[in-house]
Amino acid sequence: MNTDYLFLLLMPAVVTVGQILVKKNTDRIITTGGVLKFIVSCINPAIIAAVLCIAAAPLMYIKALGTVPLSEAFAFNSLNYILVFVFGRFILGEKPDVYRFAGVVLITAGFLLPFIAEAAGA
């Protein structure tokens, strides 16, 4: 496997980890009392790790764009929705409704369809 495709697979996973870290640690963030209190409250290991994860993703994407066609690379962005849906359900205990589930099924199909077509020789 081309390492750039590995970056494209890691990109949504890293963003999802960052989003989960932020969501699980928002209770530590102070949103009243001014900007300085807000900034200081964001200086904790979980939020810093989240920011680093979220900041690493575009760098992975830029690296991958060096060799992967844009039309293929862009499809990997949709994996974010799928991963957030799954991890939101199993890590955060969120209860998705039928519409969100249907949306994730459609996104998954849209992501996989070009690869299936290519494998079939279409």
Q: What is the dihedral of CA 89, 71, 114, 68, to 10 degrees?
A: -90
Instruction: Say what the pLDDT of residue 109 is.
Output: 92
Please determine, for residue 113, whether its predicted confidence score (pLDDT) is greater than 90.
no
Residue type, 54: I
Q: What is the pLDDT of residues 26-52, one digit of tens each?
A: 888 888 889 999 999 889 999 999 999
Q: What is the dihedral of CA 1, 72, 89, 92, to 10 degrees?
A: 80
How many structural domains does the chain have? 1
Instruction: Say what the pLDDT of residue 73 is.
Output: 87
Please determine, for residue 17, whether its predicted confidence score (pLDDT) is greater than 80.
yes
Please determine, for residue 1, whether its predicted confidence score (pLDDT) is greater than 60.
no
Q: What is the pLDDT of residues 46-103, one digit of tens each?
A: 999 999 999 999 999 999 999 998 888 888 889 999 999 999 999 999 998 999 999 9
60-68: long-range contacts, CB 8 A cutoff, minimum separation 24: 60/7, 60/8, 60/10, 60/11, 60/14, 61/7, 61/8, 61/11, 63/4, 63/7, 64/4, 64/5, 64/7, 64/8, 64/11, 66/4, 67/2, 67/4, 68/2, 68/4, 68/5, 68/8
Instruction: Say what the pLDDT of residue 119 is.
Output: 84
Q: What percent of the chain has pLDDT over 90?
A: 67
Domain range enclosing 39: 3-119
